[in-house]
């Protein structure tokens, strides 16, 4: 399977669906952690194909979705300051804060620019020595090495006008929170292939052993996920709490050691607030003391900005797998991609956006 079409082969997909259905002797409740995986599952109707054998629960695997509301408000405050060039990836431009979003701030005159890499922001700092350039460093472990490299490069170049607004979160502590919940019904996990490409899957072996729950690291194409689910169902049926790796073309058990080295040179683990979930101990990154000069929150003194979540949005329950987007009374009505109430509707990896994009409106109507 070397080419993209082969990862979407309908004949092989049907064979895997039939195999999963034959293997499963009950409806297993499985959580996919990554939002990219959620979109594939919904786009190709895999959740519907496996109905009765597997109940797919959508987890907190969208870094844009779990970026705290107050962090968005801090980004807006910085972006509106004179002399600032605020840079970010495109999917952060329309994530709502309590007073609008970055795209709106741009329309009102703030110099907000979409970039494709943190290195673009470093170049902007070089080209604009009289301006403060800030990069919104958002993501799971996947994007942390590149953001760390940008800080190292800025330090090497002696750039005094470059900083990052850090909102990095870590997957395993969030999984632990889900498993510790007394109402948890998740019986197995599809682990995120991109995160494991960087970090490996040794942390999931610890979770599997401690909670007696199996994990399968999987990729993002339909056949990746179907094969991963098939592997997971076999473990569940056999009562084996192990970690298996479906995504062997990208993931090794130890991960990318050089990427980890760069990441831990710049960042250290800290408590982190997750949007819709709350503060999770030791679940994110902050800059080490040696690199605190690149901390935008400290530089622009915005760390005191606090914000309350809107009560109407059930994004927190969706991110924890307790609700599905169709359970939200605002889904497709007050909350749409054009006018989102929460980040899962606007993010390219958000579960609400997946349900909206792939027209799951009848389910929403039936749920009312």
| pLDDT at residue number 275 | 80
Distance, in Å, from the CA atom of 174 to the CA atom of 259, rounded to the nearest integer, reads 22
368 located within any domain: no
Q: Is residue 366 part of a domain?
A: no
- Quick check: is 98 in a domain? yes
pLDDT of residue 91: 86
- The residues, ordered by sequence, that sit 6+ positions from 368 with a Cβ below 8 Å of its Cβ are 329
- Please tell me the total count of domains within the chain: 1
Three-state secondary structure call for residue 300? helix
pLDDT digits (tens, 9 = 90+) for 262-292: 999 999 999 999 887 889 999 999 999 999 9
Domain hosting 283: range is: 1-301+310-359
Tokens for 163, please give them: 């900083």
Residue 332 to residues 45, 83, 147, 337, Cα–Cα distance (Å)? 19, 39, 35, 9
> Residue 312 has what pLDDT?
67
pLDDT given at position 362 = 54
Is residue 184 assigned to a domain?
yes
Q: 129: domain CATH number?
A: 3.40.50.11740
Considering the domain boundaries, does residue 365 fall inside one?
no
- Nearest to 291, CA basis, from 164, 140, 130: 164
Give the integer Cα–Cα distance in Å for 134 and 18.
51
> For the sheet containing 132-139, what is the strand order?
111-114, 84-88, 132-139, 162-169, 278-287, 267-274
Ranges of residues in the chain whose predicted pLDDT is under 70: 1-3, 309-312, 348, 359-368
Look at residue 257 in the predicted model and tell me its pLDDT: 98
What local confidence, expressed as pLDDT, does residue 314 receive?
A: 80
**CB distance 344 to 353 below 8 Å:** yes
Confidence (pLDDT) at 19: 97
Residue 364 lies in a domain: no
Q: Can you give the pLDDT at residue 20? A: 98
Query: What pLDDT does 299 receive?
Result: 97
pLDDT at site 368: 45
Helices (H) and strands (E) in the chain, counts: 18, 11
Res 318: pLDDT: 83
> Helices marked H in the chain — which ranges?
10-23, 35-43, 46-49, 63-66, 69-79, 102-107, 118-127, 144-157, 171-180, 193-199, 202-211, 222-238, 257-266, 296-300, 315-319, 343-346, 351-357, 361-367
């Amino acid at each position: 399977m070397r080419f993209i079409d082969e990862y979407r082969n309908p004949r092989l997909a049907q064979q895997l669906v039939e195999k999963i259905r034959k293997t499963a002797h009950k409806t297993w409740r499985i959580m996919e952690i990554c939002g990219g995986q959620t979109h594939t599952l919904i786009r190709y109707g895999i959740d519907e194909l496996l109905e009765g054998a597997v109940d797919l629960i959508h987890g907190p695997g969208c870094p844009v979705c779990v970026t705290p509301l107050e962090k968005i408000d801090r980004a807006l405050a910085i972006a509106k300051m004179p002399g600032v060039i605020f840079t970010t990836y495109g999917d952060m431009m329309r994530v709502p804060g309590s007073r609008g979003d970055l795209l709106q701030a741009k329309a009102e005159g703030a110099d907000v620019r979409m970039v494709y890499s943190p290195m673009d922001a470093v170049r902007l700092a070089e080209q604009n020595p009289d301006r403060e350039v800030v990069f919104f460093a958002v993501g799971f472990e996947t994007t942390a090495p590149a953001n760390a490299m940008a800080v190292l490069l800025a330090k090497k170049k002696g750039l005094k006008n470059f900083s990052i607004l850090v909102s990095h979160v870590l997957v395993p502590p969030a999984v632990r929170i889900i498993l510790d919940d007394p109402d948890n019904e998740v019986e197995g996990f599809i682990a995120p292939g991109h995160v494991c490409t960087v970090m490996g899957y040794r942390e999931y072996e610890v979770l599997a052993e401690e909670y007696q729950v199996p994990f399968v690291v999987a990729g993002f194409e339909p056949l990746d996920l179907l094969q991963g689910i098939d592997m997971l169902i076999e473990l569940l049926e056999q009562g084996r709490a192990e970690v298996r790796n479906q995504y062997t073309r990208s993931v090794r058990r130890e991960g990318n050691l050089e990427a980890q080295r760069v990441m831990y040179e710049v960042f250290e683990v800290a408590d982190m607030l997750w949007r819709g979930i709350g503060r999770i101990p030791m679940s994110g990154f902050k800059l080490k003391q040696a690199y605190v000069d690149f901390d935008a929150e400290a530089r622009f003194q915005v760390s005191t900005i606090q914000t309350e979540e809107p009560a109407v949005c059930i994004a927190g329950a969706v991110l924890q797998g307790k609700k599905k987007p169709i359970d939200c009374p605002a889904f497709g009505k007050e909350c749409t991609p054009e006018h989102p109430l929460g980040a899962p509707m606007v993010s390219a990896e958000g579960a609400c956006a997946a349900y909206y994009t792939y027209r799951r409106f009848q389910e929403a109507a039936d749920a009312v």
